[in-house]
């Protein structure tokens, strides 16, 4: 073929391709602006709704920051640090009582799935600094565990005076101290009770085990319908509702303290649901068809949509997801507020190198948390005199009751993570509202900085629960972004 002829054919082919592209563009444009001759509008809207319900935007209610800010700060700065920190021995071993009877109803409906079982630690696996008598408040202080002579009397005079006090009196003093300390608690602490055991959280990850049905529904029904604040104008909805419709909150028909309580519980519920959807039991068999001892786990998009999509939640699902961000901000504020105290902790396990690494990592994480630009403002709560004191007491009692309900969960693994996350949230509330962690006091002539009391102390279990509970919320926000990516 002559060269000029070949060029002419190539040019003609290019023109044909260009015309095809132009015509396709015109048709596509017409389709997008027509009543639907070329595609179904309903399917496009459904696809749009499917994507938009978890693509949150704008300011988080009762806070001053946006969803985008939290997403960036968590997924880029906080989540990677937390993920690494929570692998350390100090945070992975959690002491808990999983065999307490339900105090509210007789229920022997235990989960029959093999994945509901909790693997307890063997004595040899527990770090040396965590062994011993759990009834001692100061057993985790480094200096106490490194004394070379346990019979050494560090203060002869004081030791002499103590000999005149009977063992019975000592026990009474301890009971008084326990009572005084318990007045600041927002949840039950049972790691010192007979029957409590250490659990390795890494061997017992939070995921969907198959626990469902009436027993699971009763837990959330009791939390929402019996232990949350009741509003006269609010109609009772199903057990998975946040109880107060979003529109009522948006119109400020509910006071700030009640809104905070609801959003904390709803945010915790949303976080747990995201974990279950992200770590779902997809199959008990391996890819080769054999029964797998560990099971096959992974994200379940259908389950995620069932729990949060608008048409399955009466348009409340996206608001429940926003409550996750709210709970995250409240717990992050607690960590920032307690940062001066937490920096001075030894995080002692008896393994010197690990303890040093944990302390460095905690300081780094706290610095990042303190740098967050828009923390939750807890000082706006409980500021109305006598009525505020009564409201705080009711707030505390209701949350305490929720921590008791965790002993009614029929799945051991679900009970473990429920107790840990409720205890972590309760510790955050203790930091925010007990007054012991406030760095300023009102003197009547203005405010002044308060010196932190040397007796101020969080128990090891509280610290472990606080960081792990925040880690669960952080993981949920990270997993939510992964669900968005899958939907895209």
Annotated binding-site ranges for FAD = 207, 209, 220, 266, 269, 307
CB contact set of 31 (below 8 Å; sequence gap of 6+): 37, 38, 39
Cβ–Cβ < 8 Å for 330, 262: no
Task: Provide the residue count of the chain.
Answer: 488
Euclidean distance between CA atoms 419 and 178, whole angstroms: 20
Residues 6+ apart with CB under 8 A from 177: 137
What is the 3-state secondary structure of 296-360? EEECCHHHHHHHHCHHHHCCCHHHHHHHHHHHHHHHHHHHHHCHHHHHCCCCCCCCHHHHHHHHH
From residue 186, how far is each of 181, 388, 429, 432, 462 by CA, in Å? Answer: 11, 16, 7, 11, 11
A 10 A CB-CB count for 85 gives 19
What are the distances in angstroms from CA 237 to CA 240, 316, 409? 8, 11, 22
Q: Residue ranges for the binding site?
A: 207, 209, 220, 266, 269, 307
431-454 burial: b if 16+ Cβ within 10 Å, else e: bbbbebbbeeeeeeeeeeeeeeee
**Alpha-carbon torsion, ordered 352, 354, 357, 363, to 10 deg:** -90
User: Which residue, 434, 443, 107, 487, is CA-closest to 304?
Assistant: 487
Kindly state the tokens that stand for 161. Answer: 């005076």
Which residues form the catalytic set? 411, 414
What b/e string do you get for 345-378 counting C-beta neighbours within 10 Å, with b at 16 or more?
Answer: bbbbbbbeebbebbbebbeebbeebeebeebbeb
In this structure, what token pair is assigned to residue 129? Answer: 């600094």
> How far is 236 from 229, CA to CA, in rounded Å?
12
Question: Which residues, in sequence order, are CB contacts of 362 under 8 Å at separation 6+?
Answer: 85, 342, 343, 345, 347
- How many other C-beta atoms lie within 10 A of the C-beta of residue 140? 23
Residue 433 in contact with residue 197, Cβ under 8 Å? Answer: no
Whole-number Cα distances in Å, 204 to 109, 115, 124, 249, 417: 21, 9, 18, 37, 9
**Phi, then psi, of 282 in degrees rounded to 5:** -80, -35
């Amino acid at each position: 073929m002559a060269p000029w002829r070949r060029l002419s054919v190539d040019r003609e082919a290019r023109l044909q391709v260009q015309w095809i592209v132009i015509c396709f563009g015109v048709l596509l444009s017409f389709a997008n602006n027509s009543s639907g001759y070329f595609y179904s509008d309903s399917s496009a809207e459904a696809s749009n709704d499917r994507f938009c319900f978890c693509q949150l935007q704008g300011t988080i209610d009762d806070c001053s920051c946006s969803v985008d800010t939290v997403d960036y700060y968590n997924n880029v700065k906080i989540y990677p640090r937390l993920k690494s920190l929570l692998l350390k021995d100090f945070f992975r071993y959690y002491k808990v009582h999983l065999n307490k009877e339900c105090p509210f109803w007789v229920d022997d409906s235990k989960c029959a799935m093999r994945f509901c079982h909790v693997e307890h630690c063997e004595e040899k696996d527990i770090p040396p600094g965590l062994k011993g008598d759990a009834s001692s408040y100061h057993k985790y202080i480094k200096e106490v565990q490194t004394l070379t002579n346990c019979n050494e009397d560090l203060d002869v005079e004081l030791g002499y005076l103590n000999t005149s006090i009977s063992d019975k009196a000592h026990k009474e003093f301890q009971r008084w101290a326990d009572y005084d300390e318990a007045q600041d608690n927002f949840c039950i602490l049972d790691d010192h009770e007979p029957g409590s055991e250490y659990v390795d959280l890494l061997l017992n990850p939070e995921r969907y085990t198959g626990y469902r049905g009436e027993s699971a529904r009763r837990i959330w029904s009791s939390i929402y319908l019996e232990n949350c604040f009741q509003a006269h104008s609010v109609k009772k909805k199903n057990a998975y509702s946040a109880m107060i419709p979003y529109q009522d909150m948006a119109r400020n028909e509910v006071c700030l303290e009640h809104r905070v309580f609801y959003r904390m519980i709803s945010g915790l519920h949303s976080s747990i649901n995201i974990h279950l959807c992200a770590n779902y039991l997809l199959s008990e068999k391996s890819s080769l068809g054999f029964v797998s001892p560990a099971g096959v786990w992974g994200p379940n998009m259908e389950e995620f949509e069932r729990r949060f999509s608008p048409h399955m939640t009466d348009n409340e699902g996206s608001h429940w997801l926003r409550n996750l961000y709210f709970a995250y901000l409240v717990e992050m504020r607690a960590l920032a507020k307690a940062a001066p105290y937490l920096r001075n902790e030894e995080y002692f396990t008896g393994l010197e190198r690990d303890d040093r690494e944990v302390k460095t990592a905690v300081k780094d994480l706290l610095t990042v948390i303190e740098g967050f630009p828009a923390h939750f403002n807890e000082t706006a709560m409980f500021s109305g005199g006598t009525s505020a004191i009564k409201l705080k007491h009711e707030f505390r009692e209701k949350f305490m009751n929720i921590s008791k309900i965790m002993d009614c969960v029929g799945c051991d693994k679900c009970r473990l993570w429920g107790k840990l996350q409720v205890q972590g949230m309760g510790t955050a509330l203790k930091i925010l509202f007990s007054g012991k962690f406030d760095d300023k006091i009102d003197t009547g002539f203005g405010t002044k900085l308060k010196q932190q009391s040397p007796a101020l102390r969080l128990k090891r279990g509280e610290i472990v629960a606080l960081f792990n509970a925040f880690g669960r919320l952080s993981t949920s926000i990270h997993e939510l972004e992964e669900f968005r990516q899958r939907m895209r």
